[in-house]
């Protein structure tokens, strides 16, 4: 069974101070395009192929899906939509990519694992690392 990787767009985009706040939608689109490379090859600790869902909210709503990455526009809180997605998966393995500790506690209560933003958006020179 493929692992479902749910990416908290706002949290991952916000993890690198690269001017994302000037164009939130564009930053989410760049992240989406970057994530597509992981769908087949996998990410550290999770072999591909993977099913990837990018959850966007606020000014990033309306970003379109692309091959390998399904985009979910949260009608309200992105965190709440992520929890809903985890609950909907049942027994399927789920990895949520976020640095938000409260969100991590919420999804771990439903059996998901969590990893930090560097898992999918390494800093220069980083190989990626899971959140403790």
Residue in the block written with tokens 């689109």: 29
pLDDT, tens digit (0-9, with 9 covering 90-100), for 101-132? 999 999 999 999 999 999 998 654 444 433 33
Model pLDDT, residue 19: 75
Q: What is the pLDDT of residue 132?
A: 32
For the chain, give the percent of residues with pLDDT over 70.
Answer: 92
Which H/E stretch holds residue 5? strand 4-8
32 in helix, strand or coil?
A: helix
Which pLDDT score is estimated for 112? 97
Distance CA 41, CA 87 (A): 26
- Divide the 132 residues of the chain into consecutive groups of 10 and give the mean pLDDT of each group: 94 84 90 93 91 94 95 95 95 94 96 94 51 34
Confidence at residue 131, expressed as pLDDT on a 0 to 100 scale: 37
| pLDDT (0 to 100) of residue 116 | 94
Sign of the CA dihedral running 109, 70, 40, 102: negative
3-class DSSP assignment, residue 115: strand
Residue-level pLDDT at 1? 82
What pLDDT score was predicted for residue 127? 45
């Amino acid at each position: 069974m493929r692992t479902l990787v749910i990416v908290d767009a706002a949290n991952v985009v916000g993890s690198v101070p690269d001017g994302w706040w000037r164009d939130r939608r564009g930053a989410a689109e760049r992240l989406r395009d970057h994530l597509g490379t992981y769908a087949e090859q996998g990410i550290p600790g999770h072999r591909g192929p993977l099913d990837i869902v990018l959850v966007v909210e606020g000014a990033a709503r309306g970003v379109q899906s692309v091959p390998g990455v399904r985009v979910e526009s949260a009608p309200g809180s992105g965190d709440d939509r992520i929890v809903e997605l985890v609950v909907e998966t049942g027994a399927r393995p789920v990895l949520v990519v976020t640095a938000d500790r409260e969100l991590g506690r919420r999804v771990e209560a439903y059996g998901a694992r969590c990893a930090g933003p560097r898992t999918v958006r390494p800093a220069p020179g980083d190989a990626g690392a899971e959140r403790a």
